[in-house]
Amino acid sequence: MTDFKDRERGEETKYAFDQETRFKITARRNRLLGNWAAGKMGLTDEETDAYEKAVVQADFEEVGDEDVIRKVYGDLTTADCDVDEADVRAKLEECEIEARRQFMKSED
């Protein structure tokens, strides 16, 4: 019985670690996307920092990426930037890859 409990605790620990890792990568990805969008909108350094945080916060509205895409695309559209939703989705994917790379590098 002890082996089963140990295995169960190990699985719970791994699950918690995986969830925390996923959260960190997603937050980093969203900051990278926010930084890209801020550059398109011509924001100052201070505004960029605040915007990156706002994009991270937007991800807490609903499950999935649609809340982030909706926010960034909406803000870019409001700022009259020449981008479409497909551009935002493509950049989100690029940011995901970069965020994973950065995270793995920081774990070395």
62-101: b or e for each residue (b if 16 or more CB lie within 10 Å)? eeebebbbebbbebbeeeebebeeebbeebbeebbeebee
What whole-number percentage of the chain has pLDDT above 90?
71
Contact (CB, 8 A) for 85 and 97:
no
**pTM, two decimal places:** 0.85
Rg (Cα) of the chain, in Å, rounded?
Answer: 17
pLDDT tens digit sequence for 61-85: 888 899 999 999 999 999 999 999 9
